[in-house]
Amino acid sequence: MKLFKRQQTPFSKKSKRDIPTDLWTKCESCGQLIYNKALDETLRVCSKCDFHFSLTARQRLDLTVDAGTFEEWDANLVPKDPLEFLVPRPYIEKVKEEQERLEMPDACITGTGLLSGKPTVLGVTDSRFMMGSMGSVVGERLTRAIERATEMRLPVIIISGSGGGARMQEGMFSLMQMAKTSSALMRLDQKGGLFISILTHPTMAGVLASFATLGDLIIAEPRALIGFTGPRVIESTIRQKLPEGFQRSEFLLEHGLIDLIVHRRDMKTTLAKLLDAFIK
């Protein structure tokens, strides 16, 4: 016979399913548990180690463009399935799933808006949509935006958060976008246009090997992973230990790949100053 019986309370009756599981986020860098509301207040930057979490394309635009001024371009462009890619699952099914989950047609948003009152053309990639990989729609939207900026004589800012590089499900159609975006930027440069490239965590592979590193100015957020291939793949290939901080923003600034490292809270102010300095 039990001598003691635990008294039921309103709290003990509450099932685990009723307890919110999305109140905290663990920092990828230092492991600190951060209350999500507090994380949003710091623009999704870890208050302990200053690690910059990835942002959605819409969040990036909200931090960069003056409120109510952004006009999206080419939102009707959606991916096709030219190769009828089926492995490990049908490509068209994956695309539809991502579109419904994220409420965006592909991994990129382009358009025009005011940045501290200055008309600017912007493109932002979103790492949530198939790792922000560059398929034919991403390349086409960026190319059209660059071409319009050339015609309108406006500066271009592209914020890259693409860890997936070229989208393998589109094969050569995806790889073509590297040359296409690069060619559009060359024509912008020939007309005297300004292109500022912002690299965020992560910016990798075909995106880095094309438009992302062709900026007149290349800016990165602190400690962002930036490279063509991940460090583990490189180490296993060359059978050597890579230097500390290899492929992080600070290492790349020291070795001349980028021009500036700018904290997220200072990014809009810095961009406004740069536009003032370079646009007459």
Per-residue confidence (pLDDT) for residue 226, from 0 to 100: 87
Q: How is the beta sheet containing 118-125 ordered, strand by strand?
A: 71-73, 108-115, 118-125, 156-160, 195-199, 217-220, 260-261
- Is 3 domain-assigned? no
261: CB partners within 8 A, 6+ apart: 219, 220, 221, 222, 249, 250, 253
Helices then strands, each counted (H, E), the chain:
9, 11
> Is the pLDDT at 210 greater than 70, yes or no?
yes
Q: Are residues 42 and 92 in the same domain?
A: no
Tell me: pLDDT of 3 over 60. no
Query: What CATH number is associated with residue 62?
Result: 3.90.226.10
Q: What pLDDT is attached to residue 12?
A: 47
Same domain, 151 and 242: yes
Strands 203-204 and 217-220 come out as unpaired
Rounded to a whole number, what is the largest CA-CA distance in the chain?
A: 90
Same domain? For 40 and 116 the reply is no
Instruction: Determine what percent of the chain is predicted with pLDDT higher than 70.
Output: 92
Position 191 in a domain = yes
Q: Let me know whether 107 and 164 are in one domain.
A: yes
pLDDT band at 2 (very low <50, low <70, confident <90, very high): low
pLDDT digits (tens, 9 = 90+) for 28-58: 778 888 888 888 888 888 888 888 888 888 9
Inter-CA distances, 10 with 7, 22, 52, 173, 189, Å: 10, 22, 40, 59, 67
Average pLDDT of the chain?
86
> CB–CB of 52/222 below 8 Å?
yes
- How far is it, in rounded angstroms, from Cα 70 to Cα 14? 45
Q: What is the C-alpha separation between 26 and 128, in angstroms, rounded?
A: 18
Q: Which domain holds residue 66?
A: 54-278
Reported as type and span, the H/E element at residue 143 is: helix 136-152
Q: pLDDT, tens digit, for every residue of 110-164?
A: 999 999 999 999 999 988 888 888 889 999 999 999 999 999 999 999 999 887 7
The pTM score is 0.84
At 4 the pLDDT is: 55
Domain assignment of residue 11, yes or no: no
User: Per the domain annotation, does 1 fall within a domain?
Assistant: no
- pLDDT recorded at residue 140: 93
* Res 88: pLDDT: 81
Q: What is the pLDDT of residues 233-248, one digit of tens each?
A: 777 787 878 777 788 8
